Structure 1
Amino acid sequence: MMQQYLRIKAEHPSELLLYRMGDFYELFYEDAVRGAELLDLTLTARGQSAGEPIPMAGIPHHALDTYLKRLVALDERVAICEQTGEAPSGTHKGAPMPREVVRIVTRGTITEETLLDSRQDNVLCALCRPSANGPWGLALLDLSAGRYALGEYSDKTDLEGELARLAPAEVLVPEGLDLDGMEIEHATVRQSWEFDYAAAHRRLCEHFGTLNLAHLECEHLKAALGAAGALLGYAQLTQKSALEYLDHLERLVSDSQLKLNPQARASLELESSLSGDPKANLLWVLDHCQTPMGARALRRMLNEPLRDFAVLRARQQAQTDLTASASDALLAGLLQRIGDIERPLARIGIERASPRDLGRIRTALTVLPELAEALQSLSAPLLRQIAADTQPLPELCDELVRALIDELPTHARDGGILAERYDEELDRLRNLADSASREITEMEARERDATGISQLRIRYNRVQGYYIELPRSQAERAPEHYHRRQTVRNSERYFTEELKSFEEMVHSSQEQSLARERALYTALLQRVRDQYARLQTCARALSLLDVLCCLTDRARMLDWHLPELVDTPGIEIEQGRHPTVQAHSSDAFVPNDVGLSETRRCLLITGPNMGGKSTYMRQVALIVILAHIGAPVPASRARIGPVDRIFTRIGAGDNLAAGLSTFMLEMMETAVILRQAGPQSLVLMDEIGRGTSTSDGLALAWASLRHLVLQRGSFALFATHYFELTELAESLPATVNLHFSANEYEDARGHVRLAFQHRVHEGATNRSYGLHVARLAGIPEPVLGDARSKMQELDQPRKESAGTETPPAQASGGRSPIEERLALIDIDQLSPREAQALLYELRTLLDRTASGTDNAPPR
């Protein structure tokens, strides 16, 4: 047996090998030591090797999923080795039972319901870049949903944004791949030949049964095909399956999406919060879907906002139809009964389904006729398409209803799945097995009468089978045809030829019954597989319907409204609110208007700390994102034009692991914005320059704002405490000042207090109320008094020189040295390293300018 184990383990050196022995999965040698440490198992020993005990640890077979979940969470790879046949007999008697690895479990390849988050996709990705200057190839596979896709990205920033959107559970990368500074979580390194284009092309053609990939329109995407081929090979290897249910390869078209980089996704808290609060994000506010597959579709939708207004208007029209007909509540109830069929369907396709997966398909099919009736009166084109895609399948439904019992078991191995009167032969075999107890009772009575021993019993256990049991005091009265089987403390156990024949008949009928049931069950699964494409289309349509009903409900319950989508660039919002802040606030939220247009592209926002600047900026971006998924928005009215990207520079935190300070992170993110933002981009920039000295920070903020307005022409919300910047509204085109204010009042003890209005006003302000905020934070009063005195001291020279100072941009009678330097740079041609070097150069230039040692821009 250990030789068999060592042979199998040699084939899986990088995995923990769970080796099935009876009712346990055992680990041996180093795997046992590691498994015991990771899972808190008792470490024992079995036999010896080279004179040393062989370490061993085990887990019960029924608890496999529990332990797998823990191992996968720790990024462990696990090979499941099962018994695949009967114990050898005859000349091979004594040989180990046949075993083989039936699957390899990794983070990206799990499909079990108990191991997955029901409301989140579990995506496996692969990256490929055949040449250092070529495009990046990306492929994704969600085994639990049957989704397979690929795409190419010439810009690393776009690739990083896509990976942030997908949040893959595991990423395959070829050995030696230069990631160009990218940090890849949960990376699995594979041999580089697995990503070879020619090998991938052959593998994909073989999988889809075609001579070429012309029908997929991706023959030219060599990097992406390399990733897709490696991904398919890895999935087939881990699943020990051809994965025939993957019958389509989608294209990931990033140009059709409103792009958000990882920083924007994080700072806007789309699906997770910066604080770690699981409820403080936009998805939590939105997700009232009735099915897990609908929740997953909503999450995908939120993470990939679209720029195609035709698609978005179709979603809006569907919601309008649902609202007008008041159908969403009825449909939501039907969807709740349907539940999740996407993942059970995938498990059926991958040949790893449980009887309960089949039961979920049955339940859904029984509800489809009611759903069809409910959709009949709706006229929106998208709802009509959903109705067409969710048409009932009466024959398959009737078959499953007749075949399956109501309460299905978790596993198929012990039978008990199929209902009575579904199959005559199965009923006959079951009756033979079920009649055993009656026949045993009758046989027991006959033997008592024949022997005159009233204490005679016929019993059964799994080891001895059927036997006649007599008290030891009556053993001498046993007839000659009783053959002794076992002696125990107080009784003797016997068998007779009649009892032996009966046992063989019972076992035979039970085995035949189980074999018959397994064959029928397998045929049922195949019936569902035959309808896989249609059922998958149905599942996706049901998911979309669930999302539309959810959004309709959110609009009604939260007083949200569908925005007007227009082709004219601009963003107009009336009475806009921040959806997450409003949902979690016990106070009434103060709504605000926003107006961005060709003549009003940059909003320069000033005001006190805690006054509402950051909330205001974020709510604008969130409303734009909601509009670009076709959802209602938290506003009384909104008019949204096309937006291609959203950039944010909000908040900061040291990345010590990468050796980056707060200021360096701020400058790197600012550099990305100044390089990539365009006329249809929405840019949020908050407190640029606060991570360095006042003069440095002011100069950088001044130059960045000018470049954003003059060179990039983006729609921008630029919040600052550098009040000197407000003068730029007079010289820069399409730039206006806005401010938030606060009211001062005296409390009962004569202390000056602050009441924030949280309302935006036209014009600028020059007050930050920093000391008031410090008091609210609990700074001791003596410290506040000292700070107040110092502030007055610092303000005095400023007041005396008021009107004589020249803004940084005009210090030399024209453009500043920094602006002169920036004017010479082709930002679009800068590499990330060149951009970083430029930042250091600008910093040096600032220092020289401040000290008066160098007023000439370097060439």
Structure 2
Amino acid sequence: MSKNTSDLSSHTPMMQQYWRLKNQHPDQLMFYRMGDFYEIFYEDAKKAAKLLDITLTARGQSAGQAIPMCGIPYHAAEGYLAKLVKLGESVVICEQVGDPATSKGPVERQVVRIITPGTVSDEALLDERRDNLIAAVLGDERLFGLAVLDITSGNFSVVEIKGWENLLAELERINPVELMIPDDWPQGLPAEKRRGVRRRAPWDFERDSALKSLCQQFSTQDLKGFGCENLTLAIGAAGCLLSYAKETQRTALPHLRSLRHERLDDTVVLDGASRRNLELDTNLAGGRDNTLQSVVDRCQTSMGSRLLTRWLNRPLRDLPVLLARQTSITCLLDGYRFERLQPQLKEIGDLERILARIGLRNARPRDLARLRDALAALPELQDALLDLHAPHLQQLAVTTSTYPELAALLDKAIIDNPPAVIRDGGVLKTGYDAELDELQALSENAGQFLIDLEAREKARTGLANLKVGYNRVHGYFIELPSKQAEQAPADYIRRQTLKGAERFITPELKAFEDKALSAKSRALAREKMLYEALLETLIGELPPLQDTAAALAELDVLSNLAERALNLDLNCPRFVEEPCMRIQQGRHPVVEQVLTTPFVANDLALDDITRMLVITGPNMGGKSTYMRQTALIVLLAHIGSFVPAASCELSLVDRIFTRIGSSDDLAGGRSTFMVEMSETANILHNATERSLVLMDEVGRGTSTFDGLSLAWAAAERLAQLRAYTLFATHYFELTVLPESEPLVANVHLSATEHNERIVFLHHVLPGPASQSYGLAVAQLAGVPANVITRAREHLSRLETTSLPHEVPAPTPGKQSAPQQSDMFASLAHPVLDDLAKLDLDEMTPRKALDLLYTLKTRI
């Protein structure tokens, strides 16, 4: 919403000022400071009143019409801003920058900050354990440049990605709250389906201007030092992000110091479906309970938790880095060294975001108090690091400097428990600045001065009825009864005549008045100036402080992984050159935490002899758990963590794919089966012999034989690709795959039936399952007994007369057995095909008996 400048003449001067500012930000809510309130006008007011559940009013008039408005107290704005940001809104903060006492017209106002979901830095507006990212993307369908910025930490990275599929997978991983795309991109592109998409002018992505602004930001001549000088598209995207950050923050960004070139070749790729299915940091219901992170995250600092989340979502195949992490965890476990570090790390707090707020010049007094406490804890922490001999831990120790001068400065400056904001003063210690101490003493001790002055003047003049007082109109005064006024000393200057009294002032009292009346405002102004100077001093130390924060965050993660290894019984995996995946007594790290009974551990062996396991067994038997635990063990190994297994030996993988569960995509117009096939297609196109693939119940979303055919063909293709594959299915026909595909083997989850009730044993055993136990599971789920009984009748009939034309006529008065259409009768059972090919005359009795046993397992 905006007003043409030519239309402003009919408005009041104050509303003219409002519209001039509002027209610059038509698509954002404007908080317009008026005294002690932020006022919101016109359409913004209607929208804000609805979103914030506050009263909408109409007061006054401008241009002949009532002004819709609502308001919030300025001191309570933080809570309202948090709500708006969570709803995806952006808010323009317009403050009074002029002095109301000297302003002839409306007080001068300026936009001092724009708060958007991706550029907030206030502690109250952020999730302390999750990154808050903005991203920009530039390119075409073949190649994209992606830039990602976390303004709350200073992390700034670029990457170039081939194809929409890989771009969308990366966007799924980083999950930005705002995404910038060029305004000249066509409508309806896949990226636009994401939340927080903002279209920006094409020139914001222009490569040359982006390169210039980035070099200015980093004080470099070029970007060669960052290894990204040839990433034309990514540089354009990074320039857009830098421009957006400056536009919203309205200040320099000294905490943005470098640009990191991400290389996807160094990572294990997980697409969006795999990330969701494995529930790394968000469960399928959208919460955080019962996720991998909920189990493995006991970090002492928020910045450590955020780093661990990044590790979980970006596993590595950089073997030296993984081995360095393993060695570090082993060192921290030795002698339980991590137990000495963790209490000290807890004292550090969220140093990363505190430093970012200092760089943005909006750090609160309590931020500086936390920084003071963190710096005070560093010497003891560094002493503990001297005892760590792992090379990577020694590197972290070198980076973790101590800052005795800064620690002393903050200890001298900031009171023990400062207020939340600098606005009302009371932040700096007495003794930090002599002039401030004098001004505060004047302001705070005026009452005592007046008492002392009154006593002195009574003694000097001998006038017992003399009083010293103050009023807001005339200021300080000495009052005498009218009868004694003539006895006033010569230095008493008449100020006011009252009925029955005269008021005077003396040079001493006048001098005190000049100081005292302005002392409070001068003290506040002085304290704010000193606070800003303190921030400038800290900004000058940001580079080493940020390096220290990064080192401490990693130390926190490694200490956490050591603690988890001890308390969750995790063991160090071994990476080998030989292509393999061998897990002894593997466990699901999340499921075993929520079970009230002992978790049944299982083995897995995939190598050049066996690349695929066809997994059969009953529903609820543990097939999905077995598959997911394998993926989570492999993923944990690829972040350098220990794993929930007695032993684990594996080679590096390049991707982890999962096709698990069923869900539709109503917004995208895709059915459950379409989603399933899209995920399957992605796997078949991109899996390699270094990939881990989990396929659960492929083909169940369509008719029986269509689904069987698709599952069979997909399994054959994966076997040909030689991908490490776990293929769970209820199609028992697939258990013949090992006969045609030598790299495939059968396993099943064991169960038994007792008194028509199923007992799940959860052991993974060689060979296919003997039956599916579907009716027993249905009974366990609470399906009515009469339905179960009828189902057993149908099952018995179908097992003996499986073809539609062979099903006998139903008994009169009873329901008919289910029929399948004749089109299904054309597909013979694979066992019949094999029998037809046999030459019985050439078979010995022994071979015939062996064959009979084999065929029986396939029926």
Which bin holds the TM-score, normalised by the shorter protein?
Answer: 0.7 to 0.9
- CA displacement at 1:358 relative to structure 2: 1.6
Matched, 1:79 2:92: yes
Matched, 1:23 2:36: yes
Aligned residue for 2:700, secondary structure, equals coil
Q: Distance in 1 between matches of 2:425 and 2:631?
A: 55
- Kindly provide the CA deviation profile for residues 751-801 of structure 1, in whole angstroms up to 9, marking residues without a partner as x: x11110011000011411111111111111111111111111211134999
- CA displacement at 1:810 relative to structure 2: 7.6
- Indicate how the Cα distance of structure 1 residues 576 and 421 shifts in structure 2: closer, same or farther if over 3 A, else same: same
Aligned residue for 1:656, secondary structure, equals coil
Q: Distance in 2 between matches of 1:206 and 1:492?
A: 70
- CA displacement at 1:447 relative to structure 2: 7.6
Q: How does 1:614-653 map to 2 (within 5 A)?
A: 614-653=624-663
Q: Distance in 2 between matches of 1:99 and 1:687?
A: 63
Q: Distance in 1 between matches of 2:680 and 2:832?
A: 19
Matched, 1:136 2:144: yes
Residue identity matched to 1:202? K
Matched, 1:222 2:232: yes
Residue identity matched to 1:153? I
Residue identity matched to 2:559? C
Q: Distance in 2 between matches of 1:379 and 1:513?
A: 52
Matched, 1:722 2:731: yes
Matched, 1:756 2:760: yes
Give the equivalent residue in structure 1 for 2:800: 796
Give the equivalent residue in structure 2 for 1:235: 245
Give the equivalent residue in structure 2 for 1:119: 129
Q: Distance in 1 between matches of 2:708 and 2:315?
A: 35
- Kindly provide the CA deviation profile for residues 531-564 of structure 1, in whole angstroms up to 9, marking residues without a partner as x: 1111111001100111111111111111111111
Residue identity matched to 2:171? L
Residue identity matched to 1:223? L
Q: Distance in 2 between matches of 1:393 and 1:609?
A: 60
Q: Distance in 2 between matches of 1:269 and 1:128?
A: 30
Residue identity matched to 1:577? R
Give the equivalent residue in structure 2 for 1:162: 170
Query: Alignment identity in percent?
Result: 46
Range that drifts further, 413-422 or 674-683: 413-422
Q: How does 1:253-332 map to 2 (within 5 A)?
A: 253-332=263-342
- CA displacement at 1:243 relative to structure 2: 1.4
Residue identity matched to 1:138? L
Q: Given that residues 273 and 280 in structure 1 are in contact (C-alpha distance below 8 angstroms), is that contact kept between their aligned partners in structure 2?
A: yes
Residue identity matched to 2:469? I
Q: Given that residues 210 and 238 in structure 2 are in contact (C-alpha distance below 8 angstroms), is that contact kept between their aligned partners in structure 1?
A: yes
Q: Distance in 1 between matches of 2:134 and 2:796?
A: 60
Q: 1:549 aligns with which of 544, 559, 580?
A: 559
Q: Distance in 2 between matches of 1:773 and 1:573?
A: 29
Q: Given that residues 662 and 672 in structure 2 are in contact (C-alpha distance below 8 angstroms), is that contact kept between their aligned partners in structure 1?
A: yes
Matched, 1:384 2:397: no
Q: Given that residues 469 and 478 in structure 2 are in contact (C-alpha distance below 8 angstroms), is that contact kept between their aligned partners in structure 1?
A: yes
- Indicate how the Cα distance of structure 1 residues 405 and 791 shifts in structure 2: closer, same or farther if over 3 A, else same: same
Q: Given that residues 741 and 759 in structure 1 are in contact (C-alpha distance below 8 angstroms), is that contact kept between their aligned partners in structure 2?
A: yes
Range that drifts further, 655-664 or 608-617: 655-664
- Kindly provide the CA deviation profile for residues 210-266 of structure 1, in whole angstroms up to 9, marking residues without a partner as x: 343222222221111111111110110011123132120111211111110000000
Q: Distance in 1 between matches of 2:386 and 2:359?
A: 31
Q: Distance in 2 between matches of 1:486 and 1:271?
A: 76
Structure 2: runs of 5+ lacking an equivalent:
1-13, 808-824, 838-859
Residue identity matched to 1:316? Q
Q: 2:216 aligns with which of 188, 206, 209?
A: 206
- CA displacement at 1:640 relative to structure 2: 1.9
Residue identity matched to 1:609? N
Q: Given that residues 494 and 502 in structure 2 are in contact (C-alpha distance below 8 angstroms), is that contact kept between their aligned partners in structure 1?
A: no
Aligned residue for 2:715, secondary structure, equals helix
Residue identity matched to 2:789? G
Q: How does 1:375-524 map to 2 (within 5 A)?
A: 375-445=385-455, 458=469, 466=475, 496=505, 501-524=511-534
- In the superposition, the TM-score normalised over structure 1's length comes to 0.88
- Indicate how the Cα distance of structure 1 residues 726 and 96 shifts in structure 2: closer, same or farther if over 3 A, else same: same
Matched, 1:745 2:754: yes
- Kindly provide the CA deviation profile for residues 790-818 of structure 1, in whole angstroms up to 9, marking residues without a partner as x: 1112111349999x94539989x99xxxx
Q: Distance in 1 between matches of 2:457 and 2:66?
A: 52
Q: How does 1:342-381 map to 2 (within 5 A)?
A: 342-381=352-391
Q: Distance in 1 between matches of 2:832 and 2:321?
A: 45
- CA displacement at 1:476 relative to structure 2: 10
Q: Distance in 2 between matches of 1:20 and 1:469?
A: 40
Give the equivalent residue in structure 1 for 2:61: 48
Q: Given that residues 465 and 503 in structure 1 are in contact (C-alpha distance below 8 angstroms), is that contact kept between their aligned partners in structure 2?
A: no
Q: Distance in 1 between matches of 2:502 and 2:89?
A: 50
Give the equivalent residue in structure 2 for 1:713: 722
- Kindly provide the CA deviation profile for residues 265-294 of structure 1, in whole angstroms up to 9, marking residues without a partner as x: 000000011134521100000110011111
Q: Distance in 1 between matches of 2:220 and 2:153?
A: 24
- Kindly provide the CA deviation profile for residues 628-678 of structure 1, in whole angstroms up to 9, marking residues without a partner as x: 001111111111211000111000112122111111111111111111000
- Indicate how the Cα distance of structure 1 residues 807 and 66 shifts in structure 2: closer, same or farther if over 3 A, else same: same
- Indicate how the Cα distance of structure 1 residues 424 and 277 shifts in structure 2: closer, same or farther if over 3 A, else same: closer
Structure 1: runs of 5+ lacking an equivalent:
747-751, 815-859
Q: Which of structures 1 and 2 has the bigger CA Rg?
A: 2
- Indicate how the Cα distance of structure 1 residues 330 and 464 shifts in structure 2: closer, same or farther if over 3 A, else same: farther
Q: Distance in 2 between matches of 1:37 and 1:495?
A: 58
Q: Given that residues 156 and 259 in structure 2 are in contact (C-alpha distance below 8 angstroms), is that contact kept between their aligned partners in structure 1?
A: yes
Q: Given that residues 322 and 552 in structure 1 are in contact (C-alpha distance below 8 angstroms), is that contact kept between their aligned partners in structure 2?
A: yes
Q: Distance in 1 between matches of 2:428 and 2:516?
A: 20
- CA displacement at 1:394 relative to structure 2: 1.6
- CA displacement at 1:391 relative to structure 2: 2.1
Q: Given that residues 469 and 492 in structure 1 are in contact (C-alpha distance below 8 angstroms), is that contact kept between their aligned partners in structure 2?
A: no
Matched, 1:107 2:133: no
- CA displacement at 1:375 relative to structure 2: 1.0
Q: 1:335 aligns with which of 345, 349, 354?
A: 345
Q: Distance in 1 between matches of 2:746 and 2:458?
A: 105
Q: Given that residues 723 and 766 in structure 1 are in contact (C-alpha distance below 8 angstroms), is that contact kept between their aligned partners in structure 2?
A: no
- Kindly provide the CA deviation profile for residues 169-212 of structure 1, in whole angstroms up to 9, marking residues without a partner as x: 11111114246434322111212221122232232233233343
Q: What's the Cα RMSD here?
A: 2.8
- Indicate how the Cα distance of structure 1 residues 180 and 28 shifts in structure 2: closer, same or farther if over 3 A, else same: closer
- Kindly provide the CA deviation profile for residues 269-320 of structure 1, in whole angstroms up to 9, marking residues without a partner as x: 0001113452110000011001111111111111110001110111111111
Q: Distance in 2 between matches of 1:457 and 1:703?
A: 101
Q: How many residues align?
A: 794
- Indicate how the Cα distance of structure 1 residues 468 and 708 shifts in structure 2: closer, same or farther if over 3 A, else same: same
- Indicate how the Cα distance of structure 1 residues 331 and 809 shifts in structure 2: closer, same or farther if over 3 A, else same: farther
Q: Given that residues 451 and 477 in structure 1 are in contact (C-alpha distance below 8 angstroms), is that contact kept between their aligned partners in structure 2?
A: no
Give the equivalent residue in structure 1 for 2:693: 683
Residue identity matched to 1:458? G
- Indicate how the Cα distance of structure 1 residues 703 and 43 shifts in structure 2: closer, same or farther if over 3 A, else same: same
Q: Distance in 2 between matches of 1:524 and 1:432?
A: 24
- Indicate how the Cα distance of structure 1 residues 808 and 664 shifts in structure 2: closer, same or farther if over 3 A, else same: farther
- Kindly provide the CA deviation profile for residues 349-382 of structure 1, in whole angstroms up to 9, marking residues without a partner as x: 1111112212222111111110111111110001
Range that drifts further, 439-448 or 413-422: 439-448
